[in-house]
Copies of this chain bind each other. A is one copy, B any other.
Amino acid sequence: MIKTGIVGGTGYTGVELLRLLAMHPQAELQAITSRAEAGTPVADIFPNLRGHVDIAFSDPNDASLTDCDVVFFATPNGIAMQHAPALLEAGVKVIDLAADFRFKDAALWEQWYGMTHACPELLAEAVYGLPEINREAVRDARLIGNAGCYPTAVELGFMPLIENSLIDLERLVADCKSGASGAGRSATVGLLMSEINESVKAYGVQGHRHLPEIRQVLTSLAAQPVGLTFVPHLMPMTRGIHATLYATLKNTDVDLQALFEQRYRNEAFVDILPAGSHPETRTVRGGNNCRIAVHRPQDGDTVVVLSVIDNLVKGAAGQAVQNMNIMFGEDEKAGLDGVALLP
């Protein structure tokens, strides 16, 4: 059994991680910390866990996280970097669900996240936790910067096109739609039911933190600079991301459907839908899947990729468990074979 710990489990990625670990046949939850909720049984805050998770939150200072095999950070940006060095030194593997270890360039991270990085020396070693790109590196990693939610949907959608040099890299567009859980469980007027329900809006058009993350990954795939316009939108729903990707094909003779199917034929969690399909976010609700459809409208030279994930699963907690499975030599699908909940 893998002994797991969670730092900061009172948010939505935390409860989702708890749900997945509770159903995982090879994982065992040793400790979960929360300064604010120390002493409170986890299931008091998230009653869906009653009967499945029996432990209480413990104070970060009291928790013996060093006894764990792996510690997940389901904390805001800037927390994991303060604690990762000591845990790594104690031989504990670390998976950060926030952004502290997603960037190779500390200066870039500091510019977008507005903080000084506490351990920039670890960035070279840290592995970007998107298994479909980095499986081998994940296998050997001590430290994972779990891929972001929007980035997962966008990168998996663009990857086959970039790897095969099929598109003009100067002008990519990623128009993304997310449910409200992606913004977290913080007491903010902008996240109230009465503010979000029955409305759609874009946000962060001038620059969202997932832009440099996606750009870094696509640039690395392309081995050249990539020009990307990324516009996230807030949807009146709780879970789900729908990325709609636009690019100009350099060559329209390629069978895009076959290309995508081929690229992902061995990937358990990436599902290429039949030609002409339109994936719905509800088909991945609660599941660790990314479902993708590829279109070339009116047989022109614009390719449109539709890519959906559950932001809390393949976009966060599920991906973290997938990374853990790989790191510990388990079946990559262990604990992740639940069928998405529809309707």
Q: Which residues of A contact B (CB under 8 A)?
A: 12, 15, 19, 22-23, 46-52, 171, 173, 175, 177, 179-181, 185-189, 191-203, 205-207, 227, 229-231, 233, 235-240, 242, 244, 246, 248, 271, 273, 276, 278-287, 289, 291, 293, 295, 297-298, 300, 302, 304, 306, 308, 337-343
Give 25 pairs: A residue, B residue, CB < 8 Å, sorted on A: A12-B194, A47-B279, A47-B280, A48-B284, A50-B271, A52-B337, A52-B339, A173-B175, A180-B193, A185-B189, A185-B195, A187-B188, A191-B194, A193-B193, A193-B196, A194-B343, A197-B198, A199-B237, A199-B280, A200-B280, A201-B278, A201-B279, A206-B295, A230-B297, A285-B341
CA distance A179 to B236 in the complex (A): 10
Q: How many copies does the complex hold?
A: 4
Residues of B within 8 A of A188 (CB): 187, 192
Partner of A246, one of B173, B185, B236: B173
CA distance A200 to B244 in the complex (A): 11
Residues of B within 8 A of A51 (CB): 271, 289
Contact status A12-B283, CB under 8 Å: no
**With contacts A246-B229, A278-B205 known, is A240 near B198, CB below 8 A?**
yes
Residues of B within 8 A of A237 (CB): 197-200, 236
CA distance A103 to B16 in the complex (A): 41
**With contacts A48-B284, A341-B285 known, is A197 near B244, CB below 8 A?**
no
Partner of A193, one of B192, B205, B231: B192
Partner of A15, one of B193, B285, B289, B342: B342
Q: How many Å from the CB of A52 to the closest CB on chain B?
A: 5
CA distance A173 to B304 in the complex (A): 10
Residues of B within 8 A of A341 (CB): 19, 48, 285-286, 341
Query: With A48-B341, A205-B293, A227-B300 given, can you name 12 additional A-B contacts, CB distance below 8 Å?
Result: A15-B342, A23-B339, A47-B273, A49-B339, A51-B289, A173-B302, A179-B198, A200-B240, A200-B308, A202-B244, A229-B246, A236-B236
Residues of B within 8 A of A280 (CB): 47, 199-201
Contact status A244-B240, CB under 8 Å: no
CA distance A337 to B233 in the complex (A): 29
Partner of A242, one of B202, B207, B286: B202
Contact status B171-A197, CB under 8 Å: no
CA distance A177 to B234 in the complex (A): 11
Residues of B within 8 A of A231 (CB): 244, 297, 304
Partner of A235, one of B192, B200, B202, B239: B200
Q: How many Å from the CB of A216 to the closest CB on chain B?
A: 15
Contact status B339-A22, CB under 8 Å: yes
**With contacts A15-B342, A177-B233 known, is A278 near B203, CB below 8 A?**
yes
